[in-house]
Amino acid sequence: VVLLHGTDKKGAFLAAEKLRKAVECYPFPYGEKQPLSKLTISIGISTFPDDATEPMELLSCADKALYIAKRTGKNKVVAFSTL
């Protein structure tokens, strides 16, 4: 969990994408033993109060977004949307 106080969904997405790219590009020892020969991450984003107003609900929204990222190809950032 990363909390970005005062950051909207667009700012959170940009920060998460920067982190995702940094992990993808970093030459981790034994990274070649990972699937596709590199270590990657998927990130789910939710924002207060747009997606939820309670802490556990906010975490649940981020978790749902994370699993969408994993199911749709991994190594990506997905923002929760109530649409």
pLDDT (0 to 100) of residue 7: 95
pLDDT at 82: 62
Question: Which DSSP string do the residues of 29-77 spell out, in sequence order?
Answer: TTGGGSGGGS----EEE--TTTT-SSHHHHHHHHHHHHHHHHHTTSS-E
Q: Where does residue 32 rank: exposed (0-12), middle (13-18), buried (19+ CB within 10 A)?
A: exposed
pLDDT in tens, the chain (83 residues): 999 999 999 999 999 999 999 999 999 998 888 877 889 999 999 999 999 999 999 999 999 999 999 999 999 999 998 64
The SS3 call for residue 78 is strand
Neighbour count for residue 19 (Cβ, 10 Å)? 14
Q: What does pTM read for this prediction?
A: 0.90
